[in-house]
Amino acid sequence: MSDLVSLPEIERAAERLAGVALRTPLVPFPGAGDGALLVKAESLQPIGAFKLRGAYATIASLPEEQRERGVVTHSSGNHAQAVAYTARALGIPAVLVMPHTTPGVKVDACMALGAEIVYVEPTSQAREETAAKLAAAHGFTLVPPYDDARIIAGQGTAGLEIVQDRPDVDVVLVPVSGGGLISGVATAVKALRPEAKVIGVEPELAADARDSLREGRPVTWDAEKTGRTIADALRVQRVGDLPFAHMQAYVDGIVTVTEDDIRRTMRRLAREARLIAEPAGAVATAAYLYHRDELPAADTYVSILSGGNVDPALFLDVLR
């Protein structure tokens, strides 16, 4: 277990992120009872998603001469935007390998930040191979989206804040894609409040993390299968190896939500909590609203609203 990320590593990442990433608030969800559900609004980050934590903490930790050669990543949107934002802040080049199916709102944001974009087929293999080739050809440093200890430590700062702001938290609900966020958050939460439960949430149309924990090894889903969910940021085909090790050590279970649950939750977050969630950002709250019977009984729940970068046309459709 020695290769797992430690609390001091997460605390060091938090120091790097001071003044860069927002310390996002815990917003009470109206009608959920007295403090029963608090929403960690990562949609309020400068790039609209939690990914800034991992990307900035990782790139800022690189030696200067390595940093100056530039960075490359592969991502379906929010991590790409985080890398682009960080690169602009540090004045270095960034190349983003993105599936051609990425929502336009995310592509436009990356281009506005001055990054170069390379489009590929929407498979993990195409993304990873292209990014690796670019890194080798140009001397860029690869900044992985989730399967990396520095990324996990950066994302874990969200968990640090949750326990610091609500020391009595009982259950933390976290969206699962490649596993970087839930790995870091679970590590921080269990270190500071061992009795708290950490539950992963994913769409039932992309439930590879649930299958992985059941089978005791990372299980891969076809891109065609994961591509069916509205939650574009959760279409990763399998969790990373390092995140999976953290999940086995610290995560208490996985709950899946339907496409209808996700849409209804996006609508309720907007109307009742006045928070904009992209589909992936709504899944953790959806687990509380529509699958409460599958969650551990508790007094205080926190759901992480991981991002708010929703396609405007889709958002209008959901609000209807």
* Spatial separation of the C-alpha atoms in residues 207 and 204, rounded to whole Å: 5
pLDDT of 2 reads 56
Local confidence band at 34 (pLDDT 50, 70, 90 cut-offs): low
Stretch 277-282: mean pLDDT, rounded? 96
Q: Which band of pLDDT confidence, cut at 50, 70 and 90, is reported for residue 172?
A: very high
Active-site annotation holder among 75, 212, 303, 306: 306
Residue 111: pLDDT band by 50, 70, 90 thresholds? very high
Residues 51-108 have pLDDT tens digits of: 999 999 999 999 999 999 999 999 878 899 999 999 999 999 999 999 998 888 889 9
Tokens of 255: 């709950």
Query: In the structure, what pLDDT confidence band is assigned to residue 214 with cuts at 50, 70 and 90?
Result: very high
**Which of the following is catalytic: 51, 106, 190, 197?**
51
- pLDDT confidence of residue 308: 96
How far is it, in rounded angstroms, from Cα 230 to Cα 220? 19
Catalytic residue check, 51: yes
Fold agreement between 7-48+148-319 and 53-142: yes
Burial class, 317, CB count within 10 angstroms (exposed 0-12 / middle 13-18 / buried 19+): exposed
Q: Quickly state the pLDDT bin for 43 (edges 50, 70, 90).
A: very high
Q: How far is CA 200 from the centre of its chain?
A: 11
What is the CATH code of the structural domain delimited by 53-142? 3.40.50.1100
Q: Average pLDDT in the 22-42 region?
A: 89
Among 3.30.70.330, 1.20.210.10, 3.40.50.300, 3.40.50.1100, what is the CATH number of 7-48+148-319?
3.40.50.1100
Check: pTM over 0.85? Answer yes or no. Answer: yes
Among 123-137, 139-153, 218-232, the minimum mean pLDDT is found in 218-232
Give the pLDDT confidence score for residue 235 in this predicted structure: 76
pLDDT at 31: 78
- Say how far apart CA 106 and CA 307 lie, in whole Å: 11
Catalytic residue status for 306: yes
Domain ranges of the chain: 7-48+148-319, 53-142
- pLDDT band, residue 33 (cuts 50/70/90): low
